[in-house]
Amino acid sequence: MSGLDTLPSLSKVIAAHGLAAKKSLGQNFLLDLNLTEKIARQAGDLSGSDVLEVGPGPGGLTRGLLAQGARRVLAVEKDPRCLPALAEIAAAAEGRLEVVQGDALEIDAAARLTAPVRIVANLPYNVGTELLVRWLTPQSWPPFWESLTLMFQREVAERIVAQPGGKAYGRLALLSQWRTTPRIVMSLPPEAFTPPPKVHSAVVHFTRLDAPRFPADAKVLQRVVAAAFNQRRKMLRSSLKGVDPEIERHLANAGIAPTERAEQVSLEAFCALARSLASG
């Protein structure tokens, strides 16, 4: 029996350390260790990887990641109340778990990790999208990580994998599909969490591509996509007017009709538009 198997149940951990969930920190905990192991398995073979986990809370997913054989887990948690519970797991994990207290939006985790790195997290919903966009948009590619396995609200997961032509299609789909292959690999009902959130959740696994699907400058692509979907009901010649005074010429270069709306435009066409804009 490894030290991890002797740890108390998560409900006992929560009771012992007084970890009543705080809404302000997006705390909805997973207490079923079978479920957290199943989520950890979606990340693939962890045995030769460092894993970055954001928001371990009482440590259910952390325990799943360690049980799946992660070489090392770096867990970044904002709530200091969780530290004693996480210290118990670290003691049982015999050097494989390092816990850092702080805000994941401010900590440079990449500097503390050794490749290959996989990121796995049941993200706090209030910072999840921002972290995802940061992980997807470094100026150079490939990034410091090989894959992301992340829990989102189901509706956000659907936006990530959306195709052109529907309401869900937008910035998240384009940024995700430009540099990774994202797949919804699990769906979870509200009752899987304590306390249950109002919405359903889903786990998305992103496999990074060695090179972006189509060439484009990351900053230019982000700017044009943000402007196009900020006013998604308008025709592109008007929603993108502020991006470049000669936007109609650039749209023509990219083979996009000026009367098209953002929702109809493929990733390939947005990348062509970003290239035309970048070349002036």
Looking at beta carbons only, is 30 or 272 nearer to ligand SAM?
A: 30
- Show contacts of 17-22: CB within 8 Å, 24+ apart: 17/58, 17/81, 17/82, 17/84, 17/85, 18/81, 19/57, 19/58, 19/81, 19/82, 19/85, 21/194, 21/195, 22/79
- List the x/- string, 199-228, binding to ligand SAM by CB under 6 A: ------------------------------
Strand, coil or helix: 247: helix
Shortest CB 183 distance to ligand SAM, Å: 20
Q: Is 244 an interacting residue with respect to ligand SAM (CB under 6 A)?
A: no
Please tell me the count of residues contacting ligand SAM according to CB under 6 A: 23
Residues 249-278 that bind ligand SAM (CB under 6 A): none
Residues 61-120 that bind ligand SAM (CB under 6 A): 61, 76-79, 82, 103-105
Q: Is 54 an interacting residue with respect to ligand SAM (CB under 6 A)?
A: yes
Q: Is 25 an interacting residue with respect to ligand SAM (CB under 6 A)?
A: yes
Shortest CB 52 distance to ligand SAM, Å: 11
DSSP string spanning 193-233? EES--SS-EEEEEEEEPSS-SS---HHHHHHHHHHHHHTTT
Shortest CB 256 distance to ligand SAM, Å: 38
| Of positions 46, 117, 120, 122, contacts ligand SAM by CB under 6 A | 122
CB 198 within 8 A of CB 189: no
HSE at residue 84, side-chain half, CA atoms within 13 A, is 8
Looking at beta carbons only, is 78 or 96 nearer to ligand SAM?
A: 78
Looking at beta carbons only, is 55 or 182 nearer to ligand SAM?
A: 55
Q: How far apart are CA 170 and CA 267, in angstroms?
A: 10
Shortest CB 64 distance to ligand SAM, Å: 9
Q: What is the DSSP letter of 56?
A: -
CB 205 within 8 A of CB 147: yes
Q: Which residue has the tokens 């993108």?
A: 240
Residue 117 in tokens: 């790195």
Give the chain's radius of gyration (CA, Å).
21
Using CB atoms, what's the residue nearest to ligand SAM?
55
Shortest CB 138 distance to ligand SAM, Å: 19
Site of interaction with ligand SAM (CB under 6 A): 25-30, 54-57, 60-61, 76-79, 82, 103-105, 122, 124, 127
